[in-house]
Amino acid sequence: MSVSGMKKQLHKASQLLNERLMGAEGTKMDEDFLRMEKVKLVAVIHALLAELLSKTTEFLQPNPGTVSTTRPSVAFF
């Protein structure tokens, strides 16, 4: 683990300990984030974007075997 990673972990542990000892509340999430978490909207959007990305990649870099069968043959004179 790098030095910066260790510092980050120590800071997180220190912050959690201070919150517990001093009775401070952690940062609350906005209502929008809570609503997204309930509906699992983020997971749905992620799945849709992954599907869109795969279809876009397939469209931009098609399989040469399927291209010849899907496109009509053009006669050259």
Domain contains 18: no
Domain contains 2: no
Domain contains 6: no
Domain contains 67: no
Residue 22 above 70 pLDDT? Answer: yes
Count of structural domains, the chain: 1
> Residue 40's domain spans which residues?
27-60
Domain contains 13: no
Report d(CA 40, CA 34) in Å as an integer: 10
To the nearest whole percent, how much of the chain has pLDDT over 90? 9
- The answer to whether the Cα torsion of 64, 70, 71, 75 is positive or negative is positive
Report d(CA 70, CA 63) in Å as an integer: 11
Residue 61 above 70 pLDDT? Answer: yes
- The alpha-carbon radius of gyration of the chain (Å, integer) is 26
Domain contains 21: no
Of 17-31, 37-51, 54-68, which range is least confident?
54-68
Structure tokens at 52: 């869109």
- Reported pTM: 0.35
Question: What digits encode the pLDDT tens for the residues 28-56?
Answer: 888 888 887 777 877 888 899 999 998 88
Answer for the pair 24, 18: CB distance below 8 angstroms, yes or no.
Answer: yes
